[in-house]
A = this chain, B = another copy of it.
Amino acid sequence: AIADHLAGWFAAREAPKPLASRHALVTSGPTYEPIDPVRYIANRSSGKQGHAVAASLAALGARVTLVSGPVRLPDPPGVDVVAVETAAEMLAACRAALPADIFVAAAAVADWRVEAAGQKLKKDGGGPPTLALSENPDILASLSAPSPDRPALVIGFAAETNDIVAYARAKRLRKGCDWIVANDVSPATGTFGGDRNSVYVIRADGTEEAWENLAKTEVARRLADAISNHFETGKK
């Protein structure tokens, strides 16, 4: 009885783990799309926001799978990290990680890949080449689509450089996700690569919130809390 009492006392001292029974799948970072054996198309995503979301969900007790493009960040503690390079690899890794209760698509996935990315481009005197692009698989839309494997809560990110909120509302409807976290990545904001973020959270129930000028880690904590509240409310 004394042992039980002590065990209970120690458990109560630990942080609450409201997401303990949940599996969260998070994407982070850029994707690299090969042009040829040495060249590729990339983007300025650092992975800081996605990695912070993965860490915050793990801190609330979730089992977290983090599918990440190439980043210069350490793996968040207690998180299973799957390293990928292209959008096609990221989609395959996400599908392989299902089922999940929560999907947070924070990666900056390349919209296009380069067709015929085989032989090295050569300067042959015939003038510069043109790169023909083809559309990449849409990971957020794919995992948002109705299916027995659809995560209960799907959250997209919208990285925009202008008309942030309008584009983000339209993107949420087009992708079929439940929430969207919109941020301004125009170079003047320093969001890509920086440590701070201002986001606008848009939910399917019509509620919208601005979280302004926060550390990316704080944006992540608020998002993880909101996710946790969503599941708690759903239980009632």
Contact = CB atoms under 8 A, between A and B. Distances in A.
B39 A40 contact: no
A171 to B, nearest CB: 10
A109 to B, nearest CB: 11
A161 interface: yes
A180 B43 CA distance: 32
Nearest to A41: B41
A129 B130 CA distance: 10
Contact of A40 (B38, B44, B112, B161): B44
A37 B161 contact: yes
A81 interface: no
A112 B128 contact: yes
| Copies per complex of this chain | 2
A92 interface: no
B38 A108 contact: yes
A187 B192 CA distance: 29
A128 B133 contact: yes
B161 A120 contact: yes
B39 A42 contact: yes
Which of A39, A40, A120, A130 has the largest number of chain B CB atoms within 10 A?
A39
Contacts of A112: 121, 128-129
Interface string A106-137: 00101110000001110100001111111100
A35 interface: yes
Contacts of A213: none
A159 interface: yes
Contact of A187 (B37, B43, B121): B37
Contacts of A108: 38
Interface in A133-177: 133-135, 159-161
Contact of A37 (B120, B135, B186): B186
B128 A159 contact: no
A185 interface: yes
Nearest to A187: B37
Q: Which 8 pairs, one residue from A and one from B, show the smallest C-beta to C-beta distance?
A: A128-B133, A131-B131, A39-B43, A120-B161, A38-B43, A130-B130, A42-B42, A112-B128
